[in-house]
């Protein structure tokens, strides 16, 4: 059930981001490729961001999620 909630929330979020950042490119990352890598990559003009999507504030973190967020933060 949590996966369906997160999937629906993520779809709405992508549409909202596309309307806010006209012309952005949003890529959904494969959770099986790099375990813990953030769910979305957003490219907009000369900027980028990654987002980890959680349907609920108390949703559990997966192993390595905080590590990836920290590594990507240091790269930007």
Q: How confident is the model over 5-15, as pLDDT tens digits? A: 788 899 999 99
Considering only CA atoms, which of 10, 70, 64 is closest in space to residue 36? 64
Phi, psi of 43 (to 5 degrees): -115, 130
More confident residue, 28 or 58: 28
Which pTM was predicted? 0.83
What integer pLDDT is reported at residue 37 of this predicted model?
94
pLDDT tens profile 56-69: 888 888 888 889 98
Phi, psi of 7 (to 5 degrees): -60, -45
């Amino acid at each position: 059930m949590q996966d369906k909630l997160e999937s629906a929330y993520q779809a709405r979020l992508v549409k909202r981001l596309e309307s806010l950042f006209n012309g952005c490119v949003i890529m959904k990352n494969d959770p099986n490729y790099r375990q813990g890598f953030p769910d979305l990559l957003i490219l907009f003009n000369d900027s980028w961001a990654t987002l980890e999507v959680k349907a609920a504030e108390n949703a559990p973190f997966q192993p390595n999620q905080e590590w990836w967020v920290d590594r990507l933060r240091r790269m930007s």
